Amino acid sequence: MREITFSQATLEAMDEEMSRDERVFVMGEDIARQGGIFGQFKGLPEKFGYDRVKDTPITETAIIGAAVGAALAGMRPVADMHFADFMGVCMDEIFNQMAKIRYMFGGQTTVPVVVRAPDGLVNQAAAQHSQSIEAWFLHIPGLKVVTPSNPADAKGLLKSAIRDDNPVIYFENKVLFKQKGPVPEGEHLVPIGKANVVQEGKDVTIVSYSIMLHTAFKAAEILEKDGIRAEVIDLRTISPIDKDTILESVAKTKRLAVGHEAVKIGGVGAEIAAIVAEEGLDYLDAPILRFGAPYTPVPFSPPLEKAYMIRPEDIAEGIKRMF
């Protein structure tokens, strides 16, 4: 299978969906003139025109407000946030309007909005451009939240998100944009709400998503050298969480570790730990481990930023203490 980058995979998904459905359009800052700061929209305005690939003013409130209005009028907008951190500007439009309208109108209307949000640590972007904020949206009923970890899922989840009649937050880690991987050509859909067991194991379950999935996989390789076979699960979707896949794995391995790049306190890992504690406590032979960033803003200093990040060795050493 051909290999392309994460960024190219999302571009391909946009191209295919805009070709398939003329109601799909995209808008955001610097996406038409510049092609997006990660090249994820390059070439789309030349193919589909500037009516369907729109540069906007620097106002996230207007971008999401217009997207919601367009969706209610029958369009299928994709709104780019430039950086996930900027979503704080338009939170009222997200959680009071976009997430609630379909419910408040008794399902008489749909809100097929996709919000693309590049997130995560990269190149000393510091406290206001490096955050992983996915847990905010896990707490808002009415939203779906996806977090691909590889190019194939990036394409498949974006296509599924665009076709969904509910609002979807699509987090795309900035480090992953340049990562290459095998991606099917043509129609390729990844179901929203279904996790993927990327490695089977019998001794411990490691659950992660997005960029941290790669750290978890490296931790599993370290553990393998000590005879510990880890089952690695890529959530892919964090709202709704595929609890069945997690519980089935924990029933087999008897141990659970959860990791994410976001701050540990109040993170997705806490919700997964609570699910297993409530519905699978009898399976466990050891306490649940959570790995996440320290409770501090992301530092600018390169050495401090490096110390802020979770390493594969951190996960592996923690898991070894479970036995």
Active site annotation includes 129 = yes
- Catalytic pick among 129, 188, 214, 260: 129
pLDDT of residue 201: 97
- 115 alpha-carbon distance from chain centroid: 11
C-alpha span between 267 and 294 (Å, rounded): 11
Domain 3-182 belongs to what architecture? Answer: 3-Layer(aba) Sandwich (3.40)
The predicted model gives 173-181 an average pLDDT of 96
Residue 38 pLDDT greater than 90, yes or no: no
Tell me the percentage of the chain whose pLDDT exceeds 70.
100
> What pLDDT band is residue 142 in, cutting at 50, 70 and 90?
very high
Residue 182 pLDDT greater than 90, yes or no: yes
The predicted model gives 305-319 an average pLDDT of 95
Supply the mean pLDDT for the chain. Answer: 96
pLDDT of residue 124: 86
Amino acid at 59: T
Class of the CATH-defined domain 196-320 = alpha beta
147-161 pLDDT, tens digit per residue, is: 999 999 999 999 999
For residue 55, the cross-strand partners are 28
Domain extents in the chain: 3-182, 196-320
Whether the CB-CB separation of 3 and 182 falls below 8 Å is answered with yes
SS3 321: coil
Residue 33 pLDDT greater than 90, yes or no: no
Judge whether 3-182 and 196-320 match in fold: yes
pLDDT of residue 155: 98
The predicted model gives 111-137 an average pLDDT of 94
pLDDT of residue 1: 82
**pTM: predicted TM-score of the whole model, two decimal places:** 0.96
SS3 148: coil
C-alpha span between 260 and 114 (Å, rounded): 23
Residue 39 pLDDT greater than 90, yes or no: no
pLDDT of residue 268: 98
pLDDT of residue 175: 95
pLDDT of residue 34: 86
Task: For 230-248, give the DSSP string.
Answer: EEEEE-SEEES--HHHHHH
51-94 pLDDT, tens digit per residue, is: 999 999 999 999 999 999 999 999 999 999 999 999 999 999 99
226-284 pLDDT, tens digit per residue, is: 999 999 999 999 999 999 999 999 999 999 999 999 999 999 999 999 999 999 999 99
Lowest-confidence segment of 25-29, 68-72, 121-125, 284-288 by average pLDDT: 121-125
pLDDT of residue 195: 98
pLDDT of residue 37: 81
The predicted model gives 109-114 an average pLDDT of 97
Question: Which residues make Cβ contacts (< 8 Å) with residue 27, sequence separation at least 6?
Answer: 53, 54, 55, 56, 63, 66, 67, 77, 78, 79, 80
Tell me the percentage of the chain whose pLDDT exceeds 90.
95
Would you tell me the crossing angle of helices 6-20 and 151-163 to the nearest 10 degrees? 30
